[in-house]
Amino acid sequence: MKRILTAVDLMEWLPANANAWQDRSLGLVAALKNNDLDASYNEANIGVIWQAKAPLVDAHIIQITSFADDGIDWRDRDIVGHFYLNSGADNNRIGQATDYNLDSQVAGAGFNLFGGYLGTGGVSDLATGAAVSNTNPPIRGAGAHRSYFVNAGAAGAAYLYADPADGSLWLYNHSGASISPKITIIGEGKSGKR
C-alpha cells in the first residue's frame, strides 16, 4: 500500500485521512445477493510474498508463515496466487545471477497460477490425523480427520497447506527434485464453513 501521509505522535486522524486510506486500499467484500458464505467472509483479506532462502529438498516441508509471528490463521480461506518453480540451483530467484529468467521456462524455471481452499488444514493420514512431515505429504479427503491442500505448482510440484493446530502456512515439495520457489499468495476472508 502506498503511504498517503506521514503520521506523527498525537496526530489527529481526520475523516479526510480515513477516506483517502480507504480509497487506496484493496478490499474484497462478499456479495449480498444469494450468497452462501458467512457474514464473516467480509473479514480482512491477507497476502504474503515468500521466496526460498535455499533449495528445498524433494519430499520435505518448509514453513512460510508463523501464526506466532504474524497472527494470521490460514485455515478456512480460499487462496489464489502465483508460483515460480525454480530449479535447485536457485539462480532464477530475485537477487540471483539469472533473476531475469524468473518467469521463463528455461533452466528448470516455470510459472503457475493456482487457487484453492485450505479448509481445516492438512494432515498426512485421514484415520489418525498424523501431521504432515518430511516424506509424509498432505492428502485430500475426509475420514476421522479432514485434510486439505492447494496444488501450487504445475503437475503436483508443490502443495500449500495450513497447519490444523495453529493455521500457519506450509509448503511441501512434491516435485521430485530440489526447488527454490517464489510464491505470492492472496487469501480471502474466512468463509465460516469450516
**Residue positions counted in the chain:** 194
Q: Identify whether 10 is part of a domain.
A: no
> What's the whole-number mean pLDDT along residues 92-117?
78
Q: Is the pLDDT of residue 17 over 90?
A: no
Q: How far apart are CA 177 and CA 139, in angstroms?
A: 20
List, edge to edge, every strand of the sheet that includes 182-187. 46-51, 182-187, 78-85, 110-117
Q: How far apart are CA 86 and CA 45, in angstroms?
A: 28
Match 500449500 to its residue by C-alpha cell: 160
Instruction: Please give the pLDDT value at position 2.
Output: 56
Domain holding 55, by residue range, is: 43-187
Instruction: Please give the pLDDT value at position 3.
Output: 61
Instruction: Please give the pLDDT value at position 40.
Output: 56
| Weakest mean pLDDT among 107-111, 127-131, 146-150 | 107-111
Q: Which runs of E-coded beta strand occur in 64-109?
A: 78-85
Q: CA angle 129-157-194, nearest 5°?
A: 40
> What's the whole-number mean pLDDT along residues 5-30?
70
Q: Identify whether 183 is part of a domain.
A: yes
In the chain, how many domains are there? Answer: 1
- Each residue's pLDDT tens digit, 40-98: 555 667 889 999 988 999 999 999 998 877 788 999 999 999 998 877 667 778 888 88
> What's the whole-number mean pLDDT along residues 116-123?
97
Instruction: Please give the pLDDT value at position 106.
Output: 54
Q: Identify whether 35 is part of a domain.
A: no
Q: Which amino acid is at 172?
A: Y
Q: Is the pLDDT of residue 145 over 60?
A: yes
Instruction: Please give the pLDDT value at position 28.
Output: 59
Q: Identify whether 20 is part of a domain.
A: no
Q: Identify whether 164 is part of a domain.
A: yes
Neighbours of 94 (CB within 10 A): 10
Instruction: Please give the pLDDT value at position 73.
Output: 92
Neighbours of 98 (CB within 10 A): 16
Q: How many CA atoms lie within 13 A of 74 on its CB side?
A: 32
- Going by the DSSP 8-state scheme, the letter that residue 24 receives in this structure is H
Q: Identify whether 120 is part of a domain.
A: yes
Q: Identify whether 6 is part of a domain.
A: no
Instruction: Please give the pLDDT value at position 30.
Output: 60
Report CA-CA distances (Å) from 124 to 92, 174, 179.
31, 13, 21
Q: Is the pLDDT of residue 1 over 70?
A: no
Q: Which amino acid is at 103?
A: D
- Each residue's pLDDT tens digit, 180-190: 889 999 998 88
Q: Is the pLDDT of residue 109 over 60?
A: no
Q: Identify whether 8 is part of a domain.
A: no
Q: Is the pLDDT of residue 26 over 80?
A: no
Instruction: Please give the pLDDT value at position 31.
Output: 62
